[in-house]
Amino acid sequence: MSAPLGIGVTCRGLVYIYRLEGYDVVALAGVDLDIAPGESLALVGPSGSGKSTLLSLLAGLLRPAAGRVQVGQYDLAKATDADLRRMRSTDVGVVLQGATRNLLPYLTAEQNVRFAQRAVPPQRRRELPAAREVFSLVGLPARGRFRLRPASLSPGERQRLALAVALATRPGLLLADEPTSQLDSRARDEVVAALDAVCAGGTTVVVVTHDPAVGARLGRTVTIRDGRVGAEGRLGEEYAVVGRDGTVHLPADVLRAIPPGTLLRVELQPSGSVLMNPATAPAPAISPAAFVPAAAIPPSEATLEVPRTGDGVRASGAFIRDSS
């Protein structure tokens, strides 16, 4: 199977609001995210943080309330329904949470893959990989599995089949929602290996997961918290992400050392790094009402506000604000 061209994703100030009966819920409150073509990314975060919503937006299943989201050549905020349909038929593959939701139970494994390929215009269908190739990409043995129905496969095989179906049209972007949920460790490993192979093939992969192993294997993790990008992990390293309003989510271990309410002196170093020291000197003149006793703020809710002082980020002080 020839390597697909990975598709890049760019989100700027992405906002999505769920309009329910009598009230609105802001699911995404301004997400900025860049995914390079061919990159693999895990979206992590607490339940209700907006991960699946972001995935749905990237798949063109929801329209952003505000902001911009570019998936390959498609500006999803401006794309028509036909554009979105075309995008999903050729460029974006989606794996829903729960393998069976991605499969037609009355078709065989092979037929499910070919069913997905039928969305591609006939003139381009010849270029698509054969079902066996797609199977081999996700590590599914064709022999003995081709003609089985999803119910006859093991849970791991079923999930890999779901991946295969999403990859049937050789998309440049694969979006998977919780691909390893409800799987035992062996099945999970099989799925993770499949994702590895997909990544290695050049497809941009974005996975929503609660599984740290998946995140670790994908190399980059983006933590979504309160509808925003809170942190990122790359190659095992965890990074805080500075939001567009200057907020930074501190990792939990840092918050244990520097509890909320702590005044920090933030100094930009000549090397480009930022030094944050707990202030022993009197804090800068700031309204006492802005201070909240650190003990009252749970660590996960603590946000470091670095006051802007014009060009650069030279700060003479900072404090921990309760962001709940």
Partner 1 sequence: MTAWTVLLRGIRHRKGRSLVVLLLATVATTAAVLAPAYGRAAQQSVLTDGLRAAPVTGTSVSVGAEGTASGAPAAHNSTGDAKATVTAALDRHPVLARLLERPIGGVDAEAVLRPASREPLATRLAYRDNVCAHLTLTTGDCPVDAGEVLVSQRLAEARGLDVGQQLTVRVGEPGANAPVQRFTVVGIYTPKDTTERYWGRTAYFTAGGPAGDTAVERVDAVFTTAEDDVRANELATVALRLDYPLRTDAVRLDDVGRLASELSALDSELGLAELDLDQALTTTLTDIGADTGAIARTVPVIAVPLFLLCWFVLFLLVASLTEERGPEIALAKLRGFPAGRIARFGLGEVLLLILLAAPIGVVAGLALVELSAGLMLADGTHVEVRWQVFAAAVVALAAAGVAALLAARRTLRRPVLGLLRRVPERVRWQAGVAEGVVVALAGASLFAALSDRSAPLGLLAPALLAVVAGIVAGRLLGLWSRVRLAVARRRGRVPALLSAAQLARRPATHRVVVVVTVAVALLAFAATAWDVAAQARREYADDTVGANRVYTVAAAHPRALAAALRRADQSGHSMAVVRVSVPYADDHVELVGVESQLLTKVAIWRGESTADVQRLAAALHPELPASLAVKERIEVTASASGLGSVPVRLGAVVAAPGEPPRTANLGTLVSGTRTYQAALPECRGGCRLIGLALSRGVSGSAQYHAALSVRAIRSGGAELAGRFGTPDAWRLAPGVPPAGITIRPGNALALSVTTAHAGEVVVEYADAPLTLPTVLAGSAPADDPHAADFDFPGFTEQPQAFTVAGNATRLPRIGGRGLLFDLDYAVRVAERTTSLADITGLRYEVWAGPEAPADLGNKLAEQGVPVLRSESLSGHLDQLSRRAPALGLRLYLLAGAAAVALAVGVVLLTAYVGADGRLHELAALRVTGVRRRLLRRGVMREYAALLGMPLVVGFVVGGAGALLMLPGIPLVTVDRPAGSLGWRPGLGALPLAVAVTLAGLVLTVLAVLRMLRKATPDRLREGVS
Name which position in 2, 73, 182, 309 contacts partner 1 (CB under 8 A). Answer: 182
Which range, of 1-9, 41-49, 114-122, 292-300, touches partner 1 by CB under 8 A?
114-122
138 binds partner 1 (CB under 8 A): no
What is the rounded distance in angstroms from the CA atom of residue 74 to the CA atom of residue 71?
5
Name which position in 70, 72, 114, 161 contacts partner 1 (CB under 8 A). Answer: 114
Q: Which is nearer to partner 1, 110 or 305 (CB)?
A: 110
Q: Which of 4, 5, 1, 25 lies closest to 15 in space, CA to CA?
A: 25
Q: Which of 249, 230, 306, 297 lies closest to 28 in space, CA to CA?
A: 230
Name which position in 15, 36, 61, 197 contacts partner 1 (CB under 8 A). Answer: 61
Residue 173, both tokens: 């972007």
Name which position in 54, 76, 79, 96 contacts partner 1 (CB under 8 A). Answer: 96
What is the rounded distance in angstroms from the CA atom of residue 157 to the CA atom of residue 134?
13
Phi, psi of 265 (to 5 degrees): -100, 120
Q: How far is the CB of 78 from partner 1 (least distance, A)?
A: 18
Which range, of 26-34, 112-120, 265-273, 306-314, touches partner 1 by CB under 8 A?
112-120
Asked whether 237 and 228 are in contact (CB, 8 A), the reply is no
CA–CA distance from 165 to each of 16, 103, 153 (Å)? 28, 8, 15
106 binds partner 1 (CB under 8 A): yes
What is the rounded distance in angstroms from the CA atom of residue 113 to the CA atom of residue 165?
5
Q: Which is nearer to partner 1, 56 or 209 (CB)?
A: 56
Name which position in 15, 107, 148, 313 contacts partner 1 (CB under 8 A). Answer: 107
Task: Show Cβ contacts of residue 282 under 8 Å, excluding neighbours closer than 6 positions.
Answer: none
Which range, of 80-88, 213-221, 236-244, 271-279, touches partner 1 by CB under 8 A?
80-88
Q: How far is the CB of 85 from partner 1 (least distance, A)?
A: 5
What is the rounded distance in angstroms from the CA atom of residue 155 to the CA atom of residue 168?
20
Which range, of 39-47, 55-63, 274-282, 299-307, touches partner 1 by CB under 8 A?
55-63
228 binds partner 1 (CB under 8 A): no
What is the rounded distance in angstroms from the CA atom of residue 47 to the CA atom of residue 225?
9
Please give the residue ranges that form the binding site for partner 1 (CB under 8 A).
56, 59, 61-62, 85-90, 94, 96, 98-107, 110-111, 114-116, 118-120, 150-151, 155, 158, 169, 182
